[in-house]
Amino acid sequence: MTDGPRVDRLLDPPYDAPDYRSSELRHPRRSLIHLAAGPTELHGPLFGHHRIEPSEADLIAQPTGEALGERIIVTGQLLDDAGRPIAGQLIEIWQANAAGRYAHEDDQHPAPLDPNFTGAGRCLSGPDGTYRFVTIKPGAYPWRNHQNAWRPAHIHLSVFGRSFTERLVTQMYFPGDPLLDLDPIYQSVSTAARRRLVSSFDLDTTTPDWALGYRFDIVVGGLLATPAEA
């Protein structure tokens, strides 16, 4: 065992989650070492110089035609844990198509592929931290974690804050999905924190005669837990 103060991240899921089978051989067994953030942890990359076109935030308007499915707009603010907007940072998303299949060679779910949907997009947050994607609502899909296991519909998000400590990869879910109660990945998060993974339907974002709107704010931060007993 490691000496020194031990810490846990209270708001993040544990590494060891027996109901999520893939974690069995991939979770550290030793306690985490407390790292007082130094200059390397308190800085981060900037991606503003990468050319990211506005079209990369639109997953449905492909050169070959429009993706099939229920059009949605996913928008929100990228914020730090003091509630301040984070401008100009990279947000990457990927997701299954409307039938619940990823355009990935390892996805063997026998649901149709959509030739007009790659399921990947990216953007930089705006001056007030706002981001916005146009996509289709992903389908639920089965996986082999346990008997008759299905993942709730979700969109994967990868975000950069201002520093290494603020890096976050997460998943956004949809309100009212009955599969949330049965999903060990969603359920791995504490009851109080889970709702922050669920987007909210938003009529103001919804575009008449065109697409439903969902809001999902993303809040990144460093360590919020206090050191536990050594």
Partner 1 sequence: MPRPTTPSQTVGPFFSLGLSWLDAGQLVDPDRSDAVVLDGRVLDGGGAPVPDAVVEIFQADAAGRFVPDTEPDWTGFGRALTDAGGTYRFVTCKPGIVGPSDAPHVDVSVFARGLLQRVITRCYFPDEAAANRTDPVLRSIADEAVRASLIARDTDEGLRFDIRLQGEGETGFFAC
| Region binding partner 1 by CB under 8 A among candidate stretches 4-12, 63-71, 126-134, 199-207 | 4-12
Q: What is the C-alpha separation between 94 and 96, in angstroms, rounded?
A: 7
Tell me: does residue 177 bind partner 1 (CB under 8 A).
no
Q: In angstroms, how far is CA 186 from the centroid of its own chain?
A: 11
Give the type of residue at 207. T
Tell me: does residue 182 bind partner 1 (CB under 8 A).
no
Q: Which of 131, 151, 162, 214 is catalytic?
A: 151
Q: Phi, psi at residue 169, to the nearest 5°?
A: -120, 130
Tell me: does residue 58 bind partner 1 (CB under 8 A).
no
Cβ distance to partner 1 smaller for residue 3 or 209: 3
Query: Catalytic: 141?
Result: yes
Query: Catalytic: 49?
Result: no
Tell me: does residue 2 bind partner 1 (CB under 8 A).
yes
Tell me: does residue 194 bind partner 1 (CB under 8 A).
yes
Q: Three-state DSSP class for 194?
A: helix
Q: In sequence order, what are the residues at sequence separation of 6 or more whose Cβ sits closer than 8 angstroms to the Cβ of residue 104?
A: none
Alpha-carbon torsion 167, 189, 202, 213, what sign?
A: positive
Binding mask 95-134 toward partner 1 (x if CB under 8 A, else -) reads -------xxx-xx----------xxxxx------------
Query: Catalytic: 156?
Result: yes
